[in-house]
Amino acid sequence: MRYKAVRGNKWDIRFLLLAQHVASWSKDESTQAGAVIVDNQRRVMSLGYNGFPRGVIDGKDRYSNREVKYRFIVHAEANAILQSKVTVEGCSLYVWPMPPCSGCAKSIIQSGIKTVIVPRCDIPERWKDDMDIANTMFSEAGVEVSYHALKGSGFLRQRQTLHDIAIK
């Protein structure tokens, strides 16, 4: 797999922060994930966050039970791909807060997305094996994965700017 540690690209940081903002729309309090699909001219093609399918009751009781939640939830990456009204072939996908799982990797590869950009982060132990499978698929399919190093958590707080969180 082609990994790139990227530092300081203002557009990548902006789209990662947009993915972070979109993640805040999720009702899943334990893991709010967001995704932004962007074409090669920096136009946003689609947005997605993790949540239940349209029309499905998404009450707190379902989110609080991990087994139930996993059976209902649509991941941010899949939602962004499914919600796009145009082809996403050749586009870049910005994901917050961690890399895609193997299920989303399959959808990303099949849709023709060529680059996945994520913040550098610690992966929870329970997801490491699945993300290793995703990375293997990305590598074999020629999808580039770029990890951005952001100061601290990368969360944009009041009075912070992109310059404040980008590592030089």
Q: Where in the sequence numbering do the catalytic residues fall?
A: 77
Asked whether 79 and 51 are in contact (CB, 8 A), the reply is: yes
Q: Which residues contact 71 (CB under 8 A, 6 or more apart)?
A: none
Q: Alpha helix (H) ranges present in the chain?
A: 10-23, 60-64, 66-72, 76-83, 102-111, 128-141, 162-165
Token code pair at residue 13: 């940081």
Asked whether 162 and 20 are in contact (CB, 8 A), the reply is: no
Strand order across the 44-49 sheet: 3-6, 144-148, 115-119, 92-96, 34-38, 44-49
Size of the chain, expressed as the number of residues it contains: 168
Q: Which residues contact 11 (CB under 8 A, 6 or more apart)?
A: 42
